[in-house]
Amino acid sequence: MKEYIDRPYYIKKIKPFIGKTLIKVLTGQRRVGKSYLLMQIRDIILKAEPDTRIIFINKEKHEFSMITDSDSLFDYLKINVTGKEKVALFIDEIQDIDSFEIVLRDLATRKNFDVYCTGSNANLLSGELATYLGGRYIEIKVYGLSYSEFLTFHRLKESTTVFNDYLKFGGLPYLINLNNDSEVIFEYLTSIYNTILLKDVVARFSIRNVRFLEKLVLFLADNTGSIVSSKKISDYLKSQKLNISTQVVIDYLGYLESSFLIDKVKRTGIEGKRVFEIGEKYFFEDLGIRNAITGYNAKDINKILENVVCLHLKMGGYSVTVGMEGKKEIDFIAQKGSEKIYIQVAYMLTSQETIDREFGNLLGIQDNFPKYVLTMDEIKDMSTYKGIQRMHVKDFCLTIF
């Protein structure tokens, strides 16, 4: 069996479903480690039940290029499965197989099949497909490395310097092979970005105006964490001599979301009862890719810190919104079940005005849920101000899960 760096957070999520007839679907951006998680699950199964027949189809390998649709997948399984033997089937990048849902639905009815698959498309199990599979699947979203995982993978001790590297290079697992060489790392990240853009957006959605798409991504990278609207983006693009309608902008934003390149965070009232239809924030699912697109600039630290906090909350299973009430803004309202937390993010609390703003907005919230102000100020111990917890961003990124 191959040696792996364990990712217990995801294995713990998947383990209860091993051996069950539910289809296990791992979704997420390219190169976040979905394939390696499949391999780890395969080895867990083989260790527990050595007689299990393992079939591993990786659609990125040429040897499986003949599996293009449901019929060819069925044919492959007929050849490789005999009788009622117990089978653990792994399909990597299943969205590259046309009508794959027909096969999944069939296999979910067979008690001898234990099925796992990955996909790099957020729409993989949406709409009609989810109805078609009718509750026969469980979806697990996979992200790049959390900060604690980053420390484990790179065999580093926690420090501000290491956290700054995490903010700069992001959390794609393969970075452990690139010796912390900035030029090489950003070349690699740029190649991943190009693959996502061309394979998961341009090719999948038959996009012709690639120049507009690239400008749109650059705009989002420059405006990470800012409230934007499709009209504002359309107006900006017009200033760049690109006359694009608001509807096309909305469509393209959806395509970028479906590829897991960006994440949309909606605005709600601070009490969470009202959802604003216009204006949202966009964050990148990998900070390294964001920095490769726009160029890493220390002046963007506030944008980068908001992005890493949002990403960490999502990794921890929280739903995240931006709180708005009049002119007051709460950077993040995060909820998971009955749990709720409020968060303000700032680089440094260098003036009384900044302190009044960051703490003041939280003090106006009349409930007892935890409230945090996260900064890069060096704080020896967690401190509180009128019941609001103040923490270093890196320390917060080592909590939650």
pLDDT at 118 > cutoff 90: yes
Say whether pLDDT at 263 is over 80.
yes
With a cut of 90, say whether residue 240 has pLDDT above it.
no
CA dihedral sign of residues 324, 330, 336, 341: negative
Joined tokens for residue 95: 């969205």
pLDDT for the residue 297: 93
Cα end-to-end distance, the chain, whole Å: 28
What pLDDT sits at residue 326?
74
**pLDDT for residue 132:** 74
CA 146 to chain centre: 11
Question: Do 108 and 157 share a domain, yes or no?
Answer: no
Identify the pLDDT of residue 201. Answer: 95
pLDDT at 181: 93
The confidence score (pLDDT) of residue 348 equals 93
For residue 2, being part of any structural domain is answered with no
Angle at 63 between CA 61 and CA 66, to 5 degrees: 105
**Does 285 map to a domain?**
yes
pLDDT of residue 382 exceeding 70, the answer is: no
Among residues 94, 109, 141, which one ends one of the domains?
Answer: 141
Regarding whether 238 and 172 lie in a shared domain, the answer is: yes
Q: Which of 126, 141, 156 is the last residue of a domain?
A: 141
Say how far apart CA 270 and CA 327 lie, in whole Å: 11
187: Cα within 13 Å, side-chain hemisphere? 6
Does an H or E element contain 388, and which? Answer: strand 388-392
CB-based contact 224:303 (threshold 8 Å): yes
- Is the residue at 206 inside a domain? yes
Spatial separation of the C-alpha atoms in residues 137 and 260, rounded to whole Å: 20
Instruction: Specify the number of domains making up the chain.
Output: 2
Domain boundary among 141, 164, 199: 141
Q: Is residue 327 part of a domain?
A: yes
Mean pLDDT of the 248-262 span: 94
Proportion of the chain above pLDDT 70, given as a percent: 95
* CA nearest neighbour of 294 among 351, 226, 215, 369: 215
Whether residue 198 sits in one domain with residue 115: no
295 contacts: CB under 8 Å, gap ≥ 6: none
CA atoms within 13 A on the CB side of 221: 20
DSSP track, 211-257: HHHHHHHHHHHHTTTS-B-HHHHHHHHHHTT----HHHHHHHHHHHH
Q: Tell me: do 119 and 223 sit in the same domain.
A: no
Are 153 and 136 contained in the same domain?
no
Q: What is the pTM for the complete model shown? A: 0.93
Q: Is the pLDDT of residue 235 over 80?
A: yes
Would you give the DSSP letter of residue 338? T
Q: Which domain holds residue 370?
A: 147-396
Say what the pLDDT of residue 161 is: 96
The type of residue at 197 is L
Using 50, 70 and 90 to split pLDDT, how confident is the model at 8? Answer: very high
Taken as a whole, the chain contains a residue count of 401
Statement: residue 224 has pLDDT above 60:
yes
Secondary structure of 148-185 as H, E, C letters: HHHHHHHCCCCCHHHHHHHHHHCCCHHHHHCCCCHHHH
290-298, Cβ contacts within 8 angstroms, sequence gap of 24 or more: 290/170, 290/221, 290/224, 291/168, 291/169, 291/170, 291/186, 291/189, 292/186, 292/189, 292/190, 292/193, 293/190, 293/193, 293/217, 293/218, 293/221, 294/218, 294/221, 294/222, 296/168, 296/186
- Residue 52's region, left for phi above 0, alpha for psi from -120 to 50, else beta, is beta
Asked if residue 185 and residue 93 are part of one domain, the reply reads no
Same domain, 376 and 280: yes
Distances (CA, A) of 295 to 75, 81, 221, 300: 48, 50, 9, 10
Average pLDDT over residues 354-381: 88
**Coil, helix or strand at residue 334:** strand
Strand order in the sheet with 137-141: 53-58, 87-92, 113-119, 23-27, 137-141
Tell me: do 159 and 238 sit in the same domain.
Answer: yes
CATH assignment at residue 49: 3.40.50.300
pLDDT-derived band at 400, boundaries 50, 70, 90: low
What does the CA dihedral 8, 12, 18, 22 come to, rounded to 10 degrees? -120
Instruction: Report yes or no: 62 and 157 within 8 Å, Cβ to Cβ.
Output: no
> 271-325: per-residue pLDDT in tens?
655 655 567 999 999 999 999 999 999 999 999 999 999 999 999 999 999 998 7
* 179 neighbors 186 (Cβ within 8 angstroms): no
Question: For residue 381, what pLDDT band results from cuts at 50, 70 and 90?
Answer: low
- Residue 58 and residue 62: Cα distance in Å, rounded? 9
Highest mean pLDDT among 91-105, 110-124, 258-272, 287-301: 287-301
Q: How far apart are CA 352 and CA 144, in angstroms?
A: 37
pLDDT at 340: 95
- State whether 85 and 189 are in the same domain: no
pLDDT at 60 over 60: yes
Q: What pLDDT digit, counting tens, does each position of 356-369 carry?
A: 888 999 998 988 99
Kindly state whether residue 1 falls inside one of the protein's structural domains: no
What pLDDT band is residue 131 in, cutting at 50, 70 and 90? Answer: confident
Does residue 380 have a pLDDT over 80?
no
pLDDT(4) > 90: no
Tell me the percentage of the chain whose pLDDT exceeds 90.
Answer: 71
Same domain, 112 and 189: no
- Provide the Cα torsion 132, 264, 286, 316; round to 10°: -70
- More confident: 84 or 343: 343
Q: What is the pLDDT of residues 163-199, one digit of tens each?
A: 999 999 999 999 999 998 999 999 999 999 999 999 9
